[in-house]
Structure 1
Amino acid sequence: MSERARGRRQTGAPAAPFEGPALSVSGLSVEFWVGGQWAAAAKHVTYDLMPGKVLAIVGESGSGKSTSSMAIMGLLPKNARISGSAKLAGRELVNAPVEVLRKVRGEGIAAIFQEPMTALNPVYTIGFQISETLLTHRHGMTRKQARERAIELLGLVEMPDPEKAYNSYPHQLSGGQRQRAMIAQSISLDPRVLIADEPTTALDVTVQAEILDLLRNLHQKLDSAIILITHDMGVVADMADDVMVMKDGDVVEHGPVGQIFGKAEHPYTRALMASVPHLGLGEAGADAAARHEAGTAALVLDKLCIDYPKRGRVPAFRAVSDASLTIQPGEVLGLVGESGSGKTTIARAIVGLIPVAEGALRVAGQDMVGVDPKELKAVRRKLGIVFQDPGSSLNPRWPVGESIGEPLQLAGHDKADIATRVTDLLDLVELPRDFRNRYPHELSGGQRQRIGIARALALDPTVLVADEPTSALDVSVQARVLELLQNIQKEKQFATLFVTHDLAVVDLLADRIAVMQHGKIVEQGTKEQILRNPQDPYTQRLIAAVPVPDPAEQRVRREARAALLAAQE
């Protein structure tokens, strides 16, 4: 590399152009030694990634998309065996010496991981971690220069206050700010290839849109090639030039983004696309407003306020203020908003896990404010709750049949009645009856969530609270769980509060929608009113930020969002 090119790389300017692919992968296979034999995780993965291009690798959990990419960087555990070839600008990386890989990591190829809180060191400041990267690879750079460059990088990733962020610890930043800090560290050495492994999965839709805009702008400025690992087809439509679809370790289809979305050839790819919820394609509920006015409400919130008390140095604060909602039997209300808006706080108050400070809360006609513990136990029999993470909400020491039957046991049912009811519930959620003897770790994520739904429905609740029940699931599994929940809800006619930040899912399921921001409900109405004709500026921004699984439509939406943001400034 020339002195001039080296200077560009050190100042963060685009890397010097070079002939051929930035990354050339040929016949890459990964196996793990498990249970006394080799198990294939990725098989004969082959692709060329050109400078300035974005390759999206998509597929369900266990398809091999992350494994094949981490193998390139030498970041797999010791029980892994890698074969084939992966050349970074002509340099072989597969089974390269550790010294070579250490030099390549960061400077030649860098990674943005899914969860910045676990990827960043919690005991060091953000600035120290970025500076450490620079000082390790840029010999001759002083600490003062590293600090200046780190602050410059934090500005480049549009951190609100770069100097403050430089001196902050990871826990002092929001999720979006932590992701920006990790991106700043990843691009600090101007890598030729950037591997982004589910970089927006844990983020709210508006923050996700900002991070995608940031990645798009950075890769254009730096001319870095990007491998985007994701299961969000809206993100793929927004970012990718090419798409590679993986299933069970095999590449089943590979082509330009327009071809994959418009003329997919493999049945698995077509099924994957069909499973993706698409904002704007939900069925219109013509009678939603009329049905909402009829009958006695199953759930009523009237000017509800919820406070969190002072804890240590954390001052007391009002998490929910003047929230008013009603849900009729058989109705689904989608409660949407960003993290920290108060959605889950309301859900927890409804089931009696958080006290109400002011206002009224009634479930099936029973006042929940100041309710006697004995009365609360009776009311809870009319409530069911489905949690976000089915793995952590089930007792790992119990067979799932016991978890499903626990509410019945606590309600005083006899063993014979419980056994019959558990069988009926397994049938209801479309799982084999012999699953009652299995433990949670023996089931997939979708199966565990079905068990969670069965448990929530054990006592035939009047109100079901579903708190982000599909956010941890693959898109095809999510589609099956949502269809199941939809069918059961129509059959049983319980009132449902569906808490989520996924507006496409709300479009599919909900009759009505309430939008929360900073602890207040800023807008509510039928899904046609909220999703097709939003009035509040926050709702407009929220809907505009949702990526849709159609490259052409997404380009139009991206331009419309930019115009909306400019008009609202």
Structure 2
Amino acid sequence: MRGHVPQQEGGPVLSVKNLGVEFWVGGGWAAAAKHVTYDLMPGKVLAIVGESGSGKSTSSMAIMGLLPKNARVTGSAKLAGRELVGARDEVLRQVRGEGIAAIFQEPMTALNPVYTIGFQISETILTHRPGMTRKQAKARAIELLGLVEMPDPTKAYNSYPHQLSGGQRQRAMIAQSISLDPRVLIADEPTTALDVTVQAEILDLLRHLHQKLDSAIILITHDMGVVADMADDVMVMKDGDVVEHGTAAKLFTAPEHPYTKALMASVPHLGLGTAVAEDASHRDDSTAALLLENVSIDYPKRGRVPAFRAVADASLSIQPGEVVGLVGESGSGKTTIARAIVGLVPIAEGQLRVAGQDMVGVDPKQLRAVRRKLGIVFQDPGSSLNPRWPVGESIGEPLELAGRDRKEISSRVTELLDMVELPRDFRNRYPHELSGGQRQRIGIARALALDPKVLVADEPTSALDVSVQARVLELLQQIQKEKQFATLFVTHDLAVVDLLADRIVVMQHGKIVEQGSKEQILRNPQDPYTQRLLAAVPVPDPTEQRVRREARAALLAQQD
């Protein structure tokens, strides 16, 4: 049943003409989207791509009437012939869910934490189907949770959002979105917060549901691998304008607009990294800048949370000038290892040596001394910088703590700003005045302030747009080659690891399951988990991605 949204045979299910969105800011109207025009046909997937601030989410939320009160929308958006721009609130409330439904980026914030999953899905159904009983709504909710392949639908129905994993929460939100058989699904970055294997499962699910329900999908994303995997047509946006629109096949093989070409060139592509030869028989751990031998790390009991072993029997080494990629899914223990290296988590067993200094059992004075040989770049540059300090003070803080005088600190801050290719007058700006990429450059400058022997980079580019990510990675590569410090690069993005790393270490459930040269791990993986991890990575090429998807399905069937 398609609710009360009229059918329109043969034509587009959604027709958008000259859609414009403006926000009242500082006494004037600021344009967020201009002249957005497209037709979405039944059963098709339109991907809207672009960087932060391009207008891709804003223009889609405008169709559903989900913008704040300081916004105004012009133009036309017709769902099966019904005009939505300027429609009354009661019309839009009816259309939401029945005609158009949204799957949001972060299910933990989109789902209400104080209600069970089942209650939230049931309420959606009962709001739009007043003749249905609560018992019928519950049965339908459990049926939907089964449809989205929730492991235990009845248990999930009675669970709260925090009791589910990220992938399960996303499945629950998809179940809620399809509960009224919408004609159009708007999926706004539906897999950005998910691990690569979970992302692959969610994309498979969306593809299956889209074919089964014949819903059209608007897929909003900055991940060109996801676009290659899902989209029939692609619309590229920049600064509120549509700069290119065409089939996915055409856009990937022959992009026309300079911005689209630049965007495609910025995308890391698994398999295109430079080969690195390595002779493992000549590795000398006595010269390693970073050494872990049989390291185990425990988290103590906290309240009702029992003590558990987060990392078990992990061994790895990094030589000066070497980049080692530490990869694995959420909860694999990779960030715990990074925290232990910088002395934020104690070692329960084994040996950890940083720049020749044993980190096990060190006193606070020794720890301070060894930390001067360490630098760390955090995942979110916004939250890792003090918002009340000019960035020059943030960069200079490690130098001040090391006892350097003001003149030396000022000179070194200037030198570091030059190194990360930022204007020198940025030292007087505050973090909120900088873009995400600029803030991450400040984070890199601060991490390198004391000329560390070891740099730990914990997902340093995952919060950045693809072109900004490419520039930051290029900069990090350049500085690393020049300074020859050892780098532990913690990430879940295997295409980035292919670009940067000399060697790769793969973790699963707190254990290292495989490690070796980039060639060994990425081109000839031996462990079944590594094979699944690599098979799940989408690549920005529709033809290649189709082959990879079929190969992944065969691999999963074989391993099952």
CA distance in structure 2 between the partners assigned to 1:294 and 1:399 by the alignment: 41
Deviations 1:498-539 (A, max 9, x none): 000000000000000000000000000001000000000000
Whether 2:96 is the aligned partner of 1:105: answer: yes
2:312 aligned counterpart, secondary structure = strand
2:480 aligned counterpart, secondary structure = helix
Query: Given that residues 24 and 30 in structure 2 are in contact (C-alpha distance below 8 angstroms), is that contact kept between their aligned partners in structure 1?
Result: yes
1:266-277 equivalence runs, <5 A: 266-277=257-268
Whether 2:402 is the aligned partner of 1:416: answer: no
1:401 aligns with one of 366, 371, 392:
392
Deviations 1:264-294 (A, max 9, x none): 0000000000000000000001247477448
Whether 2:33 is the aligned partner of 1:42: answer: yes
Aligned to 2:85: 94
1:300 aligned counterpart, secondary structure = strand
1:176 aligned counterpart, secondary structure = helix
- 1:17/1:33 Cα in 2 relative to 1: closer, same or farther (>3 Å)? closer
Aligned to 1:238: 229
CA distance in structure 1 between the partners assigned to 2:251 and 2:210 by the alignment: 23
Query: Given that residues 27 and 46 in structure 1 are in contact (C-alpha distance below 8 angstroms), is that contact kept between their aligned partners in structure 2?
Result: yes
CA distance in structure 2 between the partners assigned to 1:206 and 1:271 by the alignment: 28
Question: 2:541 is aligned with what amino acid?
Answer: D
CA distance in structure 2 between the partners assigned to 1:466 and 1:250 by the alignment: 35
Q: CA deviation at 1:139?
A: 1.6
TM-score (norm 1): 0.97
Aligned to 1:551: 542
Aligned to 1:198: 189
1:394-543 equivalence runs, <5 A: 394-543=385-534
Query: Given that residues 302 and 324 in structure 1 are in contact (C-alpha distance below 8 angstroms), is that contact kept between their aligned partners in structure 2?
Result: yes
CA distance in structure 2 between the partners assigned to 1:409 and 1:523 by the alignment: 41
1:318 aligned counterpart, secondary structure = strand
Aligned to 1:81: 72
Query: Given that residues 2 and 98 in structure 2 are in contact (C-alpha distance below 8 angstroms), is that contact kept between their aligned partners in structure 1?
Result: no
Q: How many residues align?
A: 559
Aligned to 2:128: 137
Whether 2:280 is the aligned partner of 1:280: answer: no
CA distance in structure 1 between the partners assigned to 2:194 and 2:49 by the alignment: 18
Whether 2:339 is the aligned partner of 1:348: answer: yes
CA distance in structure 1 between the partners assigned to 2:130 and 2:284 by the alignment: 71
Query: Given that residues 288 and 511 in structure 1 are in contact (C-alpha distance below 8 angstroms), is that contact kept between their aligned partners in structure 2?
Result: no
Aligned to 1:338: 329
- 1:16/1:79 Cα in 2 relative to 1: closer, same or farther (>3 Å)? closer
1:175-324 equivalence runs, <5 A: 175-287=166-278, 289=280, 292-293=283-284, 296-324=287-315
Aligned to 1:165: 156
Q: CA deviation at 1:18?
A: 2.7
- 1:508/1:373 Cα in 2 relative to 1: closer, same or farther (>3 Å)? same
Question: 2:364 is aligned with what amino acid?
Answer: P
1:28 aligned counterpart, secondary structure = strand
CA distance in structure 1 between the partners assigned to 2:397 and 2:470 by the alignment: 28
CA distance in structure 1 between the partners assigned to 2:309 and 2:285 by the alignment: 33
CA distance in structure 2 between the partners assigned to 1:17 and 1:291 by the alignment: 70
1:313-392 equivalence runs, <5 A: 313-392=304-383
Question: 2:472 is aligned with what amino acid?
Answer: V
Aligned to 1:65: 56
Aligned to 1:3: none
Query: Given that residues 2 and 99 in structure 2 are in contact (C-alpha distance below 8 angstroms), is that contact kept between their aligned partners in structure 1?
Result: no
Query: Given that residues 8 and 80 in structure 2 are in contact (C-alpha distance below 8 angstroms), is that contact kept between their aligned partners in structure 1?
Result: no
Whether 2:14 is the aligned partner of 1:27: answer: no
Unaligned runs of 5+ in 1: 1-7
Q: CA deviation at 1:556?
A: 0.1
Deviations 1:128-177 (A, max 9, x none): 00000000001210000000000000000000000000000000000000
Q: CA deviation at 1:304?
A: 0.4
CA distance in structure 1 between the partners assigned to 2:68 and 2:260 by the alignment: 30
Query: Given that residues 216 and 239 in structure 1 are in contact (C-alpha distance below 8 angstroms), is that contact kept between their aligned partners in structure 2?
Result: yes
- 1:290/1:471 Cα in 2 relative to 1: closer, same or farther (>3 Å)? farther
Q: CA deviation at 1:16?
A: 6.8
Deviations 1:478-503 (A, max 9, x none): 00000000000000000000000000
CA distance in structure 2 between the partners assigned to 1:568 and 1:422 by the alignment: 53
Query: Given that residues 8 and 81 in structure 2 are in contact (C-alpha distance below 8 angstroms), is that contact kept between their aligned partners in structure 1?
Result: no
Q: CA RMSD in A?
A: 1.2
2:287 aligned counterpart, secondary structure = coil
- 1:47/1:291 Cα in 2 relative to 1: closer, same or farther (>3 Å)? farther
CA distance in structure 2 between the partners assigned to 1:549 and 1:288 by the alignment: 32
Deviations 1:362-404 (A, max 9, x none): 0011110111110000000000000000000000000000000
CA distance in structure 2 between the partners assigned to 1:161 and 1:358 by the alignment: 37
Question: 1:168 is aligned with what amino acid?
Answer: S
Q: CA deviation at 1:295?
A: 6.6
Query: Given that residues 295 and 328 in structure 1 are in contact (C-alpha distance below 8 angstroms), is that contact kept between their aligned partners in structure 2?
Result: no
Query: Given that residues 292 and 327 in structure 1 are in contact (C-alpha distance below 8 angstroms), is that contact kept between their aligned partners in structure 2?
Result: no
Question: 2:142 is aligned with what amino acid?
Answer: I
CA distance in structure 2 between the partners assigned to 1:291 and 1:121 by the alignment: 56
Query: Given that residues 288 and 526 in structure 1 are in contact (C-alpha distance below 8 angstroms), is that contact kept between their aligned partners in structure 2?
Result: no
Unaligned runs of 5+ in 2: none
Q: CA deviation at 1:95?
A: 1.3
Question: 1:27 is aligned with what amino acid?
Answer: N
Query: Given that residues 154 and 180 in structure 1 are in contact (C-alpha distance below 8 angstroms), is that contact kept between their aligned partners in structure 2?
Result: yes
User: Structure 1: which 4+ aligned runs deviate by more than 2 Å?
Assistant: 15-19, 287-295
1:24 aligned counterpart, secondary structure = strand
Deviations 1:184-237 (A, max 9, x none): 000000100000000000000000000000000000000000000000000000
CA distance in structure 1 between the partners assigned to 2:100 and 2:283 by the alignment: 55
Query: Given that residues 336 and 499 in structure 1 are in contact (C-alpha distance below 8 angstroms), is that contact kept between their aligned partners in structure 2?
Result: yes
2:439 aligned counterpart, secondary structure = helix
CA distance in structure 1 between the partners assigned to 2:137 and 2:20 by the alignment: 38
